[in-house]
Structure 1
Amino acid sequence: MTSLTSPAARAAHPPVQRVVEVSGRRPVGAYVELTLAAPEIAERTEPGQFVAFAVGGPTSAHLLRRSIAIAGAADGAVTVMVAPHGPGSTWLAGLQVGDTVDVVGPLGRPYPMPSDGTPAVLVGGGYGAAALRGLAARLRAAGSPVIAICGAASADRLSSVDELGELAEVIVTTDDGSAGRQGRVTDAMAELLTSRAPGQVGVVYACGPMAMLRAVAEAATTAGLPSYVAVEESMACGVGVCMTCVLPVVGEDGRTRFSRSCTDGPVFGGDRVRFADVGTLPWDVVGADAMGVVAP
């Protein structure tokens, strides 16, 4: 399998920009699932990648795009799960069948694949679970047993449980106990890793909130397992220009550099991301001395 200390493989195909039609729309709890007629993007997509939408329409004052993980890409269509929050995502969630939207994709580096047959655990938080659907299908096609742990604050915040259930053994958790078992996905993951014999889990993948990714990565590393996480840093441009999505990542040479989530990620080796230092300027990051940062 790809080494844990290596960055995720680069995508095989370059992205394209297209104005596409919304061919499907359905509410999913607190979210909205959109299906786009985007064959050129669908045929290029690999699990873990994302698309970036222009929001607000042609006369909008929203200059920056909204980046959303790809939930599925098949038969000429791309599916995304939209969580209405700010004005951009709320506008996207309001799109109806027949509307058009400007989209760039697929963007970012995909999840690296393990050797065929490697048992995998997938951990999804909230709508982040949708981003694991394509990965689960790819793993199953390669003969890998898959366990998916889907968690959220409440039942209406869960995502893609049924879709993942067609491909994997699924464990559901909610903070309030309104669906599945009460608790966090990280608790269920810790119990799973301790209950399985050596070799029954070979790799861990995750997508969701940063605090969850940190806990998943730490648990996997403690168990001696490689992990790969798709980070949720804000990606304003999606193409590596604006530098709003940088976070400290340890390279193969052991040195920390600021990596762009949109182009160097969004998938990183779990033990490579310095989660505790996200949002700060570590003294030992490459280039810190030039900015006047000194060692403590």
Structure 2
Amino acid sequence: MTAPVQERAAEIFSVRRVGQYVEFTIVAPRIAAGFEPGHFLAVAVGGENTAMILRRAFAIAGATPGDRFAGTVQFVVAEHGPGTQWLVQRRAGDTLDVVGPLGRPFPLPKNAAPAVLVGGGYGSAPLLPLARTLLAAGAPVEIVLGAASADRLYGELAAKRLVGAVTVTTDDGSAGTKGLVTDVLPEAIERIGAEIVYACGPMPMLRAVGAVAKERAIRAQVAVEESMACGIGVCMTCVLPVRGADGASRFVRSCVEGPVFDAMDVRWGDVGRLPADLVGADAMGGH
């Protein structure tokens, strides 16, 4: 497993608006060298004198090794609070303090198993390098992208260049099929004879994708979108209730043990609360 590194002055190589999102390419050769699909990075926001001490976590959308363009890394930002508002105002030539690669990457099948990749909104970002890796290993790949509206899709053109036909859904019908990714996922699984599903996006979508995969007796590996304040397992803000190999459920840190989990192991109905049967929950004593 690659140890994360800190690039204190990663230069922004380019900034590109993509619908409602902003795509950054930064020069970070040491992070690029250790990248595997599913890794993320943590970015300091606000500048040197800011009161915003917590980093913001973003999935790595791709990396170019150091022998080309000095080693670059891409990530995608959706503007929400003050941290991301500050970040999207940065321009080429500015520098960022980033840490990565963080987390556990997507597990790859031992054989070239047919796979369906499902992305919600800018959650499709980490799936594009995954698709390249699977295709390079000889695995048939199909991609399903969904979003609330056309301007909240990400990576549709890149996905089409990779695999050809891409199935798109939007809640409002402004692009592709009106509806949810799970409305079209069963057909995609059948069409390609998928043996595994990979997904990244909002938590309700991941839960629904996991349910579809379970119905068809195939595995689903999902990259969760929990808030990750430190990215290195210290602050405990990103814990999820997950069943272990021994059948017992524990809180695990999404940033260290994840962000990729087997969908069957996540206790989706208990996300955000403390189930009484979790290992160690009895010691909380009602706190």
Q: TM-score range by the shorter chain?
A: over 0.9
Match of 1:177 among 173, 180, 184: 173
Whichever residue aligns with residue 63 of structure 2, its letter is A
CA separation in 1, counterparts of 2:77 and 2:50? 19
Match of 1:137 among 129, 132, 139: 132
Secondary structure of 1:166 counterpart: helix
Q: TM-score of the superposition, structure 1-length normalised? A: 0.92
What is the root-mean-square deviation of aligned Cα atoms in Å?
A: 1.1
Match of 1:203 among 188, 193, 196: 196
CA separation in 2, counterparts of 1:191 and 1:183? 14
Specify the alignment match of 2:234 in structure 1. 241
Secondary structure of 2:113 counterpart: coil
Specify the alignment match of 1:93 in structure 2. 88
- Residue 34 of structure 2 is aligned to residue 50 of structure 1: no
Q: Deviation digits for residues 175-216 of structure 1, max 9, x if unmatched?
A: 1111111111111113333x447xx10100000000000000
Residues 206-217 of structure 1: pairs in structure 2 closer than 5 A: 206-217=199-210
Specify the alignment match of 2:4 in structure 1. 15
CA contact (8 A) 1:235 1:244 kept: yes
Residues 81-230 of structure 1: pairs in structure 2 closer than 5 A: 81-168=76-163, 169-193=165-189, 195-196=190-191, 200-230=193-223
Specify the alignment match of 1:39 in structure 2. 29
- Residue 260 of structure 2 is aligned to residue 267 of structure 1: yes
CA separation in 1, counterparts of 2:145 and 2:277? 36
Whichever residue aligns with residue 88 of structure 2, its letter is A
CA contact (8 A) 1:120 1:202 kept: yes
Secondary structure of 2:135 counterpart: helix
In structure 1, stretches of 5+ residues that fail to align are 1-11
Task: Give the % identical residues.
Answer: 58
Match of 1:258 among 251, 259, 263: 251
Whichever residue aligns with residue 282 of structure 2, its letter is D
Specify the alignment match of 1:6 in structure 2. none
Match of 1:285 among 249, 256, 278: 278
Count of residue pairs brought into register by the alignment: 279
CA contact (8 A) 2:116 2:188 kept: no
Secondary structure of 2:175 counterpart: coil
Deviation at 1:218, TM superposition (A): 1.1
Whichever residue aligns with residue 94 of structure 2, its letter is D
CA separation in 2, counterparts of 1:114 and 1:215? 22
Whichever residue aligns with residue 37 of structure 1, its letter is V
Specify the alignment match of 1:9 in structure 2. none
Whichever residue aligns with residue 86 of structure 1, its letter is G
- Residue 49 of structure 2 is aligned to residue 59 of structure 1: yes
Secondary structure of 1:167 counterpart: helix
Secondary structure of 2:241 counterpart: strand
Whichever residue aligns with residue 255 of structure 1, its letter is A
Q: Deviation digits for residues 7-66 of structure 1, max 9, x if unmatched?
A: xxxxx2101001200001110000000000111100101100100000011111100000
4+ long deviations beyond 3 Å: none
CA separation in 2, counterparts of 1:190 and 1:219? 7
Whichever residue aligns with residue 15 of structure 2, its letter is R
In structure 2, stretches of 5+ residues that fail to align are 66-70
CA contact (8 A) 2:61 2:74 kept: yes
CA separation in 2, counterparts of 1:105 and 1:256? 28
CA contact (8 A) 1:120 1:146 kept: yes
CA contact (8 A) 1:146 1:167 kept: no
